[in-house]
């Protein structure tokens, strides 16, 4: 079985789906330019050679066009995969996504379908405030949009294939430090995530979380990069006799409350770790929902560990401070155990 990074696994998913279905195509900035870099994080590298420039469609720097063209093409029978260079740029296409993509099916009384994927790299990586944001909170709020966040190569392939075949708009959040992009496009602080990814076809359904580490004392729900920080914190705390059960939700809309609540029933404590800023984030929603549905399982208030409510600063020292660190997770977990 080949070993792949997330970038390679996503590329593999796109390649498989494009080979199978002629209506699948990619659209975005710098994704297929010869001599270019296959998108900012190499995901589409080499695909134009196989599929041609009509199906790996480079656009002008025009985010409204990218989103609108994807929506229109989807309405008219295609399955576009739109790429946003950095998730921050998605705000240029906010109207297209929020007012158009997610409302077409509904406004048409369920007759129009919009099968489109939008891929957006999130996460703070030493680039300052406008190439750094985690955007979950904005988009999990919008009815009619599915939001997924694969954190492993295996999940990336299986979830993306499900997304491409979904008949609805799906936003795929990919973390810059998890891609494993190589060469000149590699990220300095990137995690080295390589794992075996089956060559054969497989799908991961939306709304199925995965328990990445079993534990007794605290249920920790963490996505993308925060999943790895939570796992690291779990290692440290294990030595102190605090046992974390770490859950990767994998998809935020739909969200697998069943798995989370089953875990809380066992641990009686819940912590949510997210890289998005804290106020009104997806963590707040999970906290509220679990409190509504499983209050009597809880021995302590639900704890959110999130990025502070500030823009992402450039200074590496400050950036490290505002994003939840392993140390902060450890600290908050100790406090949660003593409450």
Q: How far is the CB of 89 from other proteins (least distance, A)?
A: 13
Q: How far is the CB of 129 from other proteins (least distance, A)?
A: 22
Give 76 or 184: the residue with its C-beta nearer to other proteins.
Answer: 76
The only residue of 49, 167, 199, 240 in contact with other proteins, by rule CB under 8 A: 167
For residues 112 and 74, what is the distance between their CA atoms, to the nearest angstrom? 9
| Burial per residue of 61-80, b for 16 or more beta-carbon CB atoms within 10 angstroms, e otherwise | eebeebbbbbbbbbbeebbb
The only residue of 7, 71, 244, 312 in contact with other proteins, by rule CB under 8 A: 71
- The beta strand positions in 23-78, using DSSP E, are 24-28, 56-58
Residue 76 sits in the site that holds other proteins (CB under 8 A): yes
The only residue of 12, 42, 140, 168 in contact with other proteins, by rule CB under 8 A: 168
Residue 183 sits in the site that holds other proteins (CB under 8 A): no
Q: How far is the CB of 115 from other proteins (least distance, A)?
A: 8
Give 80 or 324: the residue with its C-beta nearer to other proteins.
Answer: 80
Give 31 or 230: the residue with its C-beta nearer to other proteins.
Answer: 31
Query: Of 113-121, 128-136, 242-250, 324-332, which part binds other proteins (CB under 8 A)?
Result: 113-121
Residue 59 sits in the site that holds other proteins (CB under 8 A): yes
Phi, psi of 178 (to 5 degrees): -105, -10
**Binding-site size, other proteins (CB under 8 A):** 46
Tell the residue number behind the tokens 């590329």, with chain if given. Answer: 11
Q: How far is the CB of 141 from other proteins (least distance, A)?
A: 13
For residues 18 and 12, what is the distance between their CA atoms, to the nearest angstrom? 10
Residue 144 sits in the site that holds other proteins (CB under 8 A): yes
| Total Cβ atoms within 10 A of residue 304 | 21
For residues 89 and 313, what is the distance between their CA atoms, to the nearest angstrom? 17
Q: How far is the CB of 143 from other proteins (least distance, A)?
A: 5
Q: How far is the CB of 262 from other proteins (least distance, A)?
A: 24
Residues 6 or more apart from 226 whose CB is under 8 A from it?
273, 274, 275, 324
- Is 141 a known active-site residue? no
Residues 6 or more apart from 280 whose CB is under 8 A from it?
137, 141
Of residues 306, 338, 305, the one with CA closest to residue 217: 338
Of residues 267, 19, 277, the one with CA closest to residue 161: 19
Q: DSSP of 118-159, one letter per residue? A: EEEEES--SS-TTS----HHHHHTSTT-EEE---SHHHHHHH
Query: Of 59-67, 215-223, 270-278, 291-299, which part binds other proteins (CB under 8 A)?
Result: 59-67
Query: Of 49-57, 178-186, 300-308, 326-334, which part binds other proteins (CB under 8 A)?
Result: 49-57
Q: How far is the CB of 126 from other proteins (least distance, A)?
A: 30
Residue 117 sits in the site that holds other proteins (CB under 8 A): no
Which secondary-structure segment (H or E) carries 202? none
The only residue of 3, 64, 214, 318 in contact with other proteins, by rule CB under 8 A: 64
Residue 263 sits in the site that holds other proteins (CB under 8 A): no
12, 34, 173, 217 from 83: Cα distances, Å: 16, 17, 11, 40
Query: Of 38-46, 142-150, 236-244, 309-317, which part binds other proteins (CB under 8 A)?
Result: 142-150
Which secondary-structure segment (H or E) carries 219? strand 218-222
Give 66 or 212: the residue with its C-beta nearer to other proteins.
Answer: 66
Which residues are catalytic, by number? 131
Contact positions vs other proteins (CB under 8 A): 23, 25, 54-55, 57, 59-60, 62-65, 67-78, 80, 95-96, 99-100, 103-115, 143-144, 146, 167-168
């Amino acid at each position: 079985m080949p070993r792949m990074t997330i970038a390679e696994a996503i590329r593999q998913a796109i390649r498989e789906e494009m080979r199978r279905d002629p209506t699948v195509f990619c659209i975005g900035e710098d994704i297929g330019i010869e001599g270019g870099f296959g998108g900012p994080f190499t995901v589409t590298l080499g695909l134009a050679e196989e599929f041609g420039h009509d199906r790996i469609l480079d656009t002008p720097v025009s985010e409204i066009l990218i989103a609108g063209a994807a929506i229109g093409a989807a309405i008219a029978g295609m399955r576009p995969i739109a790429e946003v260079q950095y998730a921050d740029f998605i705000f240029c296409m906010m109207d297209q996504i929020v007012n158009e993509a997610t409302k077409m099916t509904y406004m048409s009384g369920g007759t129009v379908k919009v099968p489109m994927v939008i891929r957006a790299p999130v996460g703070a990586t030493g680039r300052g405030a406008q190439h750094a944001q985690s955007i979950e909170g904005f988009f999990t709020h919008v009815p009619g949009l599915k939001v997924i966040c694969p954190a492993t190569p295996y999940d990336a392939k299986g979830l993306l294939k499900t997304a491409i075949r979904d008949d609805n708009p799906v936003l795929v959040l990919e973390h810059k430090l998890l891609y494993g992009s190589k060469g000149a496009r590699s990220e300095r602080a990137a995690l080295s995530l390589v794992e075996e990814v089956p060559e054969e076809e497989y799908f991961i359904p939306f709304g199925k979380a995965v328990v990445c580490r079993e534990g007794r004392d605290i249920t920790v729900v963490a996505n993308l990069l925060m999943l790895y920080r939570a796992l690291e914190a779990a290692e440290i705390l294990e030595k102190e006799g605090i046992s974390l059960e770490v859950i990767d939700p994998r998809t935020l809309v739909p969200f697998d409350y069943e798995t989370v609540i089953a875990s809380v029933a066992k641990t009686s404590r819940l912590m949510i770790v997210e890289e998005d800023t804290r106020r009104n984030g997806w963590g707040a929603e999970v906290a509220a929902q679990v409190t509504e549905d499983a209050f009597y399982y809880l021995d302590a208030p639900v704890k959110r560990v999130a990025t502070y409510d500030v823009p992402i600063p450039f200074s590496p020292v400050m950036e490290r401070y505002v994003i939840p660190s392993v140390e902060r997770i450890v600290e908050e977990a100790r406090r949660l155990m003593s409450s």
